Amino acid sequence: MTLLIAKKEVKELLRNNRFRLISITLLILLVFSMFISWNTYKKVQKEHQTAQILAREQWESQGQKSAHSAAHYGTFAFKPIPTLSLIDNGLNKYLGVSIFLEAHRQNSASYKQITDQNDLARFADLSPAFVFIFLMPLLIILLGFNSFTTEKESGTLQLILSQGASKRKLVLGKIIGIWLTLLLLLTPVFLLGFCFIVFSDYEKGDLLRYGFILISLLLYYGIFIHLSIVTSVWAKSSNFSLIILLSFWMISALLMPKLTADISKKTHKTPSAISYQENIKKELADGINGHDPSSEKAIAFKDSLLKKYNVKSIGKLPVNFYQLLMQAGEKHETTVYKNAMTQLNNVYIEQLKVHQLNAFISPTILMRMLSMQFANTDLQSHYNFTYQAEEYRGALISSLNSGPSGTVDTDFFKKNIKFKYNPITLSQTIEKNASNLMYLTIWWLLSGLLVILSVQKNKLK
């Protein structure tokens, strides 16, 4: 009986002209967005590889100069393009893709894609994740908002129940029917996304990451299916059911993300760019300056070296005083910049926690966070890149400051370490998102419990 009800539900939904129009529209949007993402991914990846090769060639072909001058000449660290940005580009276009690395200075990531786009181009930047997360729930609402109200309004509900179908079988059959209809649309799109990833330069674990995104999406869709059924069971009319469900979608997908963003900014304020730089400048002044041997801290550093090696002048030191002074200055500067970056990142992480706390009201926030984090296009993935770039900058400058005195040639620069980015592993992502996955599962379980309670408490008349 349950399968017969599900089969009947599928046939009725597929015959519905509104469903056909909206599902075809969403299908076109999904396929179109995937091809757009594919073209963008290949283009950006090619530009990234070209720029990376060019930056290394420029570094290695500097010619004869002092090693410390090369530190001021600087080089670039480029953030690799995650394969799963094909599905969810996340915050990538709002964050920089490269960092200029130089001595005595920490630079922020630059070359944000969003700065090169006009308003029309930004609107046209459609991603599969946007359709999956924000638009597909509207289709689910269309599938389920009148699943019972239509039966009640037409008087067929009692006829179905009189044929021997229990209330539980009727509800279960309609849920299965909605799922089957939805999967008819989604399965080809999911397979298309899988093909795009396979034919890309995907990393180890990317297919599993894609699998976690799909599992999260299915839980997310299950929530809207359950809520649609519950609302249709209790609503007295189809119009009222539709209004309730659309209101929930607007609160979950539009209102709460904006509201939580405003709340997080007020509860955990970020310093302005001016005050951030002023604090760094103050911290730098409190330490040793590697370019000023006559400063008080530099003289104290010199005296400690003379005492250590038991000599009376820097000319008798068995080490190069000026190189050690520059290394000490660079070490202090690196510590200051790292502390400042960590403090700022911690503020943003606290803001993200506010988003997570409000996820009990909005499953859309949860799904958005999970999608970006499994795609490695979230804020923490960007922090991981900037942290590793800063570590590389410190190691590179240190190797230059401790290099041979006088001029060096091309062979010296070819031996300098290269930047190698290690993305966040899948196990680390799962560990960080265990609570988000749990909250999404709780949403699914609670919405399912509401379905059971609606069957027990409502007489379905």
**pLDDT tens figures, 441-452:** 999 999 999 998
Question: Quick one: pLDDT at residue 119?
Answer: 44
Tokens of 402: 């401790």
Residue with tokens 């304020």: 269
- Report the pLDDT averaged over residues 370-392: 90
**Structural domain span for residue 70:** 2-457
Cα 88 to Cα 41: distance, rounded to the nearest angstrom: 11
Question: Quick one: pLDDT at residue 136?
Answer: 94
CA distances from residue 3 to 145, 171, 259, 359, 452 in whole angstroms, order as listed? 20, 11, 43, 35, 19
Tokens of 151: 């039966």
pLDDT value at 45 more than 60: yes
Cα 183 to Cα 178: distance, rounded to the nearest angstrom: 9
Cα 57 to Cα 13: distance, rounded to the nearest angstrom: 60
Please state whether the predicted TM-score (pTM) of the whole model is above 0.95: no
Grade residue 160 by pLDDT with cuts at 50, 70 and 90: low
User: Under a CB-based contact definition with an 8 Å cutoff, are residues 391 and 443 in contact?
Assistant: no
Q: What angle do CA 308, 311, 312 make, to 5 degrees?
A: 125
- Report the pLDDT averaged over residues 416-444: 90
- Closest alpha carbon to 223 in 115, 360, 350: 360
**pLDDT tens figures, 4-41:** 778 877 888 888 888 888 889 999 999 999 998 898 88
Express as a percent the part of the chain with pLDDT over 70.
93
> What's the number of CA atoms in the CB half-sphere (13 Å) around residue 102?
8
Grade residue 221 by pLDDT with cuts at 50, 70 and 90: very high
Backbone angles phi, psi at 171, to 5 degrees: -65, -45
pLDDT value at 228 more than 90: yes
User: Under a CB-based contact definition with an 8 Å cutoff, are residues 197 and 206 in contact?
Assistant: yes
User: Reduced to 3 states, what is the DSSP secondary structure of residue 100?
Assistant: strand
- Report the pLDDT averaged over residues 338-346: 83
Grade residue 122 by pLDDT with cuts at 50, 70 and 90: very low
Question: Quick one: pLDDT at residue 441?
Answer: 94
CB atoms within 10 A of CB 65: 16
pLDDT value at 158 more than 70: no
Q: Which of 82-96, 202-216, 316-330 has the highest mean pLDDT?
A: 202-216
- Report the pLDDT averaged over residues 284-288: 83
User: Reduced to 3 states, what is the DSSP secondary structure of residue 16?
Assistant: coil
User: Under a CB-based contact definition with an 8 Å cutoff, are residues 78 and 96 in contact?
Assistant: no
Identify the residue with better confidence: 301 or 364.
364
Grade residue 121 by pLDDT with cuts at 50, 70 and 90: very low
Question: Quick one: pLDDT at residue 164?
Answer: 63
CB atoms within 10 A of CB 64: 10
Please tell me the total number of residues recorded for the chain in this structure: 461
Cα 138 to Cα 129: distance, rounded to the nearest angstrom: 14
CA distances from residue 204 to 4, 100, 295, 424 in whole angstroms, order as listed? 43, 28, 52, 12
Strands in 14-123 per DSSP E: 65-66, 75-78, 98-101
Domains: count for the chain: 1
CA distances from residue 105 to 32, 272, 386 in whole angstroms, order as listed? 43, 18, 14
- 110, β-bridge pairs: 98
